[in-house]
Amino acid sequence: MSRTFLFFILAGLSAASLGLGCLFGPMDIPASKVFDILGSVIGVSGGDFGEPTLSVVVLDIRLSRVCLSWLVGAALAVSGAVFQGILQNPLADPFTIGVSTGAAFGASLAIFFGLAGMPVWFGMGFLPLAAMLGAFGALLAVISLGKIAGTLRRETLVLAGIVVATFLSALIALLKSLDEESVTGIVFWVMGSFQGRSWDHILFAAPYLLAGAVVIWLYSREIDILSMGDAQARMLGVNADQVRLVLLVAASLITGAAVSVAGVIGFVGLVVPHLVRMVLGAEHRPLLVFSALLGGIVLLWSDVLARTILSGGEELPVGVITALVGGPFFCLLLRRKSKDMGL
């Protein structure tokens, strides 16, 4: 199957999923109505649906949520691919170097001090901003720890990331034990969820996602070269330390933005790049594009599952779904891989 063909299939699936994802929700809206309303947005159908509330539900609640989950899935998969490449570690994911724990700590602090709902960004509340600040704080800590240890080599970075993440996890545990009431909020946020997210969240995350994506794309050839080691990269004229730092910041930026609006959602950033690599090979330009498409589709449908699987109308944190599905799936991937190698 050619790459172009596969690209159109995945792009088409993404577009279809954005529409189909709007069919699901606690309110019973007939499919034809949903498609009428969606059609009016792109100018296909007329603008009269009788009930304005329906259009609010479909466009402001469902469509925004579906779009956000696709964006977050794409962001996590892309940054996972970047981290795996620049750290030369197939087990790296967007959370390896502690950026997500930083975001979780920022969010936990905001919940702990009761600031989570404080409106600072349109109607969105302080929580995402606190998480973003936490993510940046953690990234700065990791980079400066790495610099103290000498150069920004990948081993140093991973170690610094583990130190920072462990320390922050302890602080989160401390916050939880200090205040019983905020435990539920913190736990739910850390497991990741798209409940109650709106277009404001997309607007909040979009600039970081866009900036990060542009930088990663411009440096995507260098990821191929870095994935073969620093020595070779320098021999080919790549300033390895500097390029790795740029990519690290860019990937952390999109991870931070994704985690800020959605919480810590595991496995998408780890599994999706692996899956794409098995089908398309390891070249990072196609890997990034296809990881984004597949990551978006996977998280979008995981979120649909998260909000429909319980009959009572309660929602599961979407992070639970991705972990429950992703874990066994990853085992299958590993098994298939070892069979391919004749083991």
Partner 1 sequence: MIRIENLCCGYGGTDVLHGVSANMGPGEMVGILGPNGSGKTTLLLALAGVLPIRDGQVRIQGEDVKGIPPKAVAWRMASVPQKAETTFPLQCFSVVLMGRYPYLSFFGGYTQSDREIAGAAMRRTGIHALAERSLDAVSGGEFQRVLIARAFAQETDILLLDEPAASLDPAGVVRVFDLLKDRNKEGALVLCAVHDLNLAAVYCDRLIFLKNGRVVEDGPTEEVFNARNLSQIYDTDIRVSRHPLSCAPQAHFVPRHCASLPSDASGDSGRGDTRSG
Of 259, 217, 274, 263, whose CA–CA distance to 80 is shortest? 274
- Based on the shown chain and the rule CB under 8 A, indicate whether residue 3 belongs to the binding site for partner 1: no
Of 148, 186, 182, whose CA–CA distance to 164 is shortest? 148
For residues 153 and 135, the answer to whether their CB atoms sit within 8 Å is: no
Long-range interactions of 30-37: CB distance < 8 A, separation 24+: 33/58, 34/58, 34/62
Contact map string, positions 281 to 320, toward partner 1, x by CB under 8 A: xxx-------------------------------------
- Based on the shown chain and the rule CB under 8 A, indicate whether residue 231 belongs to the binding site for partner 1: yes
Distance of alpha carbon 201 from alpha carbon 209, whole angstroms = 12
- Based on the shown chain and the rule CB under 8 A, indicate whether residue 227 belongs to the binding site for partner 1: yes
Helix, strand, or coil here: 253? helix
Q: Around 66, how many Cα atoms within 13 Å sit in the side-chain half-sphere?
A: 23
- Based on the shown chain and the rule CB under 8 A, indicate whether residue 234 belongs to the binding site for partner 1: yes
Residue 310 DSSP code = S
- Based on the shown chain and the rule CB under 8 A, indicate whether residue 214 belongs to the binding site for partner 1: no
- Based on the shown chain and the rule CB under 8 A, indicate whether residue 156 belongs to the binding site for partner 1: no
- Based on the shown chain and the rule CB under 8 A, indicate whether residue 79 belongs to the binding site for partner 1: no
- Based on the shown chain and the rule CB under 8 A, indicate whether residue 221 belongs to the binding site for partner 1: yes
**For partner 1, which stretch binds (CB under 8 A), given 15-23, 30-38, 102-110, 234-242?**
234-242
**For partner 1, which stretch binds (CB under 8 A), given 20-28, 45-53, 84-92, 175-183?**
84-92
Least distance from partner 1 to the Cβ atom of residue 253, Å: 20
Query: Interface with partner 1 by CB under 8 A: which residues?
Result: 84-85, 88-90, 218, 221, 224-225, 227-232, 234-239, 277, 281-283
